[in-house]
Amino acid sequence: MANMARLDILLREEPPLDLIVLPEMWSTGFTMRTALAEEMGGDALAWMLQKAASSSAHIAGSISMKVNGQYFNRFCVVSPTGKIQHYDKRHLFSYGKEDHHYSAGKEQLTFSIGDWKIRAIVCYDLRFPLWCRNTDEYDILLVVANWPRPRIHHWDALLRARAIENQAFVVAVNRVGIDGNQLEYNGHSAVIDMNGITLLDMMEKEEIGKMALDKEALTQYRQQYRFLQDRDAFTF
């Protein structure tokens, strides 16, 4: 509830937006305490539905969720009309024993907002380039995470690599703060373009960052540098 109240404050004065992105497990923080998981009708998803309707924006972020007796790190995106799409995190963070508590997803999610095609991934997925590979010409790779300070230089490098190799914008939102285990998360939320240039760098700030993306610039870049047409063909 505290995170929802904090977000209500941060978002109170925001102008109209198309998409609002929250971190991984935004309502609880990254946790192996599955007792905190909610079902699809729970408080966190209800808040997302209410906020999407009141703001006329899509709301995206992951939630610890219980479904038919299994637990998932579930990315949800909610439209202003109440449509819910979801993606269950594929690569579970075995170093932190996430795979002992949650089940891995099996399917990718590419969703649309207007004429933008957006691929969703969650945190550790970022380390796996084949899973992120742009085989259907998505425009934005959307990453939500709880990525800690000791490996933040990995985060910075991988975001840029995924943008360049997939010729796509990367929109990445990471947690800020210290958790109950005294593990520090220092943000570095960012927007990176298809050429690997950082358009928005949130550094260690806990605040709302805003960026308007240029679809025509993406199209022109892909037409000039036709790297995607030479990619290897494979499917999951």
pLDDT digits (tens, 9 = 90+) for 63-108: 999 999 999 999 999 999 999 999 999 999 999 999 999 999 999 9
Looking at residue 219, its pLDDT comes to 97
- The torsion angles phi and psi of 228, rounded to 5 degrees, stand at -65, -30
Say if 235 falls within a structural domain: no
Distance of CA 110 to CAs 36, 118, 149, 221, Å?
A: 28, 5, 29, 21
Confidence of residue 181 (pLDDT cuts 50, 70, 90): confident
CATH number, domain containing residue 116: 3.60.110.10
- Residues catalogued as catalytic: 24, 89, 123
Whether 12 has a pLDDT exceeding 90, the answer reads: no
Say if 233 falls within a structural domain: no
Sheet holding 198-201, edge to edge: 110-113, 116-122, 140-145, 169-174, 190-192, 198-201
Whether 236 has a pLDDT exceeding 80, the answer reads: no
Say if 6 falls within a structural domain: yes
Say if 234 falls within a structural domain: no
Confidence of residue 215 (pLDDT cuts 50, 70, 90): very high
Say if 146 falls within a structural domain: yes
Chain-centre distance of CA 111, in angstroms?
12
Say if 26 falls within a structural domain: yes
Average pLDDT over residues 173-192: 94
170 and 155 Cβ atoms separated by less than 8 Å: no
**Percent of the chain scoring above 70 in pLDDT:** 100
Query: What domain range is 81 assigned to?
Result: 2-223
Say if 54 falls within a structural domain: yes
* Number of domains comprising the chain: 1
Say if 236 falls within a structural domain: no
Average pLDDT over residues 27-34: 94
- Whether this prediction's pTM lies above 0.85 is answered by yes
Separation CA 139–CA 142 (nearest Å) = 10
